[in-house]
Amino acid sequence: MNIDYLSLRLVELPLRSPFRTHQGLIKKRTLIIVEAGDQAGRKGYGEVTAFAEPFYTSETIQTAWHIISDCIVPTIDFQKVMHPFDFPEQVTGIQGHPMAKAGVEGALWDLYGKQTGQSLSHMIGGSRKRVKAGAVISLSDSTAEGIKALEEKGYERYKLKVDIGREREIIDQVKQISPDLPLMIDANGAYTEKDMDYLQTLDEYGLIMIEQPFQAGDFYLHQQLQQHLKTPVCLDESVMNFHDAKQAIQLGSCQVINIKISRVGGLSAAIKIHDYCAQENVPVWCGGMIESGISKAHNLALASLPNFSIPGDLSGSDRYFQKDLVTPGIQMENGEIEVPSLPGMGVEVDESYLERVTKKSKIFGLS
């Protein structure tokens, strides 16, 4: 690859409305946009989707900025990266920090696609031209109005963020509004071992799955629950890399895995997990991080792989933000989103808007 420079931008995107889980309230989304450029003027974009506070994983926007600036850029010989698949091997000496690594690798994938004239989906072996979209309903959403609006748009899977102690109340509300809604709940690790028997009673609702009921890394409790639960357990935060995915499947800790490019360390790792899950007949779906259209475009390419059989946290550009970073924006029609087919991630970055929402930036010469 011809990589001339790498730049970082810290941006803040206003949300249409606050997004609340039991872990906290998000009013604006802070992200790091990574840009990789070559001497011919082509630009590739990636995105670091860590949050400002370490409530989802231990990474934050601040730690990711530090790791990229002070560890990845100074120690990696980018001239030895001939293909984006080479990047993960280059950063094995840096422990952890998958979101920082994923942001840089994403920019390399986009740039490589533009240099070779290939779409991201084509490069990774994607087979779908359109992918099915699923909606996330936060605790700050108006349940009745929100669900009706989302149904009208055609979303094909609905994920409820849970408020501990009010699960049945919220599920019952949804069932009264739309009894046949394809529904799942996401606990973000909020339950403990004492909730084991209670969680088993949720089988009566016929949920698609229960996502990440226990703390990240606790494969034992998830295994015990799945052995006594008809509803599939899905792992999210517990799967930080390929080894975690393999361990979870071999131990029987889940029946479904949520793959997030940023959480597992990049597109290369996400593909590897997808392939292994397909081999083991474990369905996967693509999770979201309240991210911009840059990440959404990468997610759409990933979700075009054949084992992504469950609608993911995929939505149009107007779902969360007043204005997205990509133009003309990612559109959802009848519950589906078209997988971009142009070179690289397949969407254009609105550079003037990107400049307006940038809070700080840094550029690194690499040639």
Active site residues: 161, 260
What are the counts of helices (DSSP H) followed by strands (DSSP E) for the chain? Answer: 14, 16
Partner residues linked to 348 by β-bridges: 327
Supply the DSSP symbol for 71.
I
Determine which helix (DSSP H) or strand (DSSP E) holds 258, and give its type and residue range.
strand 256-259
Exposure on the CB side of residue 1, measured as CA atoms within 13 A:
31
- CA pair distance 164, 189, nearest whole angstrom: 11
- Whether 361 contacts 18, CB under 8 Å: no
Amino acid occupying residue 71? C
Residue bearing tokens 């941006």: 11
Backbone angles phi, psi at 139, to 5 degrees: -70, -15
Q: Are strands 284-286 and 256-259 parallel, antiparallel or unpaired?
A: parallel
Spatial distance between the Cα atoms of 296 and 282, rounded to a whole number of angstroms: 23
Q: Where does residue 318 rank: exposed (0-12), middle (13-18), buried (19+ CB within 10 A)?
A: middle
Query: Distance of CA 317 to CAs 14, 86, 277, 327, Å?
Result: 13, 31, 29, 9
Beta carbons of 156 and 185 less than 8 angstroms apart: no
Q: Can you tell me whether residue 130 is helix, strand or coil?
A: strand
State the distance between the two ends of the chain, measured CA to CA, in whole angstroms. Answer: 11
Distances (CA, A) of 281 to 114, 218, 277: 34, 22, 6
